[in-house]
Chain A
Amino acid sequence: DTGVSQDPRHKITKRGQNVTFRCDPISEHNRLYWYRQTLGQGPEFLTYFQNEAQLEKSRLLSDRFSAERPKGSFSTLEIQRTEQGDSAMYLCASSLSGTIGETQYFGPGTRLLVL
């Protein structure tokens, strides 16, 4: 069990550019979640997948954001035409559904700074 991994760990970009983040969940975990955390706040839910199906999207996820999990394993989160307000920590988590005590395990996050 190698834990949830995210790449890159840090990203600095200019306003208007597109960025893509990757998340590799714990192997065998069929659920994968994306959250966003801004300074001084708790993480906020963005979206989640069960296997390859995207089952829920938050209203925070504007049409500039898209997430995929094509084979039910890793996931990508893309932000198009980045804005300064997108600067945040993007966290990925995974869990195994149907287990007693379904616990979400978080990755180290990707810190995005939009200049």
Chain B
Amino acid sequence: GIQVEQSPPDLILQEGANSTLRCNFSDSVNNLQWFHQNPWGQLINLFYIPSGTKQNGRLSATTVATERYSLLYISSSQTTDSGVYFCAVENTGANSKLTFGKGITLSVRP
């Protein structure tokens, strides 16, 4: 099946810093979503982005489908950005199921 690798596995930032989170995937995709999992376990949708670039406030994401990677940018980080960030992909022909990476744990220090 499709492989999803996220890097770095852990990231520690000072409040106000910027960061880039990366997601590599091994095959063509119909769907790519970025999620933020809060400390209570809730997965919060950030972006649906199988290709192209989107921005939402301090967050933006870019997916280059032909090169099989996606980037999530967080600018002016806040302590509330802390948590685990997941990239999940739907392989072309995979019948809607999402395959998740292992996640990136972000800690933003005040």
Contacts and interface: CB of A to CB of B under 8 A. Distances in A.
Given A42-B86, A103-B33, A108-B42, A33 B97 contact: yes
B99 A106 contact: no
A109 interface: yes
Given A48-B95, A103-B48, A42 B42 contact: no
A109 B86 contact: no
Interface stretch (B14-22, B60-68, B73-81, B100-108): B100-108
Nearest to B103: A42
Interface of B: 4, 31, 33, 35, 40-43, 45, 48, 86, 88, 95-103
Nearest to B97: A45
Contacts of B42: 106, 108-109
Interface of A: 31, 33, 35, 37, 40-45, 48, 55-56, 58, 89, 91, 93, 95, 97, 101-106, 108-109, 111
Given A91-B43, A102-B31, A42 B101 contact: yes
B100 A44 contact: yes
Nearest to A106: B43
Contacts of B4: 42
A104 B99 contact: no
Nearest to A102: B31
B75 to A, nearest CB: 23
B48 A101 contact: yes
A31 B96 CA distance: 9
Contact of A108 (B31, B41, B45): B41
A111 B4 CA distance: 25
A105 B40 CA distance: 16
Nearest to B95: A56
11 contacts: A33-B96, A33-B97, A35-B98, A37-B41, A42-B86, A42-B101, A43-B86, A91-B43, A103-B45, A103-B48, A106-B43
